[in-house]
Amino acid sequence: MRGAEATLAAAERELARMRTLSDRGVSTQAALEAANRAADTARADLDRLQAALMRYQPGPDGLQVDVAVAEANLAAAQAAVDQARSDLDRARVLAPQNGTILKVSARAGERPPTGGLLKMGDTARMEAELEVFQVMLPRVALGQNVSLVSGVLGRDPLTGKVSRISTLVGRQSVTEDDPAANTDARVLLVTVALDEASSARAARYVNLEVVARIAVAADVPAGGAGR
């Protein structure tokens, strides 16, 4: 800084001398202009040094200007990161429990339907829901063995045990293809818990329609249909 100040002072003295000589007519116009340019250059150099020095002077809060600007930029960047993380958390879909996605009702960019974004279930423990005619229900009990057959399952049926018996009588929703079959019978819902091996097979056929055979007491079978 002192060197620049000394250079400017010397240039201004030389400029003043050249002006005096020019006024007396003993100096050329070119020499005067050269002295003027030298003074301007020295003044500009000093201004640049002073501006650079100001950047390293403490501000009102005791921080250097460059440091304060850097900290402000860092705070803004951190706020942007926090906002992006918050947006990502709101956009992420988290399942309340472990399970398998059975159906996705909306894709990226689509508005989710009122029925929900997707359907999922715990396919590790599969169950079958049977519609059993109310007249057969007295012969059905918890723990009875059940076999389930369907055309897609091949010759080996699914197996399990009766785990729940509903007490609410309703109208059947599963009907046979036979036109002469009863389509308006009164039924109760019986739930069958499939064994481990059958659960693994049934996991590939969620909502499959089956025909059930329940091993009732005295080996008198009771039938039903369900999913």
Residues 6+ apart with CB under 8 A from 1: 46, 49, 50, 53
Domain boundary among 104, 122, 140: 122
For the whole prediction, is pTM greater than 0.85? no
Q: Does residue 103 sit in the same domain as residue 23? A: no
Q: How many CB atoms lie within 10 A of CB 186?
A: 14
pLDDT of residue 220: 47
Q: What is the CATH number of the domain that holds 184?
A: 2.40.30
Range of the domain at 146: 127-226
- Structural domain total, the chain: 3
H/E stretch holding 18? helix 2-24
Residue 211, both tokens: 């025909």
pLDDT of residue 178: 53
Are 173 and 197 in a shared domain? Answer: yes
Give Cα separations from 67 to 52, 76, 78, 122, 142 (angstroms).
Answer: 14, 14, 16, 56, 76
Phi, psi (degrees; rounded to nearest 5) at 125: -130, 90
Query: 133-181 pLDDT, tens per residue?
Result: 888 888 999 999 999 999 888 889 999 999 999 988 887 776 565 554 5
Of 69, 101, 122, the domain-final residue: 122
- Give the residues of the chain that fall short of pLDDT 70: 1, 4, 8, 55-66, 174-184, 217-227
Tell me how far apart the alpha carbons of residues 94 and 86 are, in angstroms, rounded to a whole number: 14
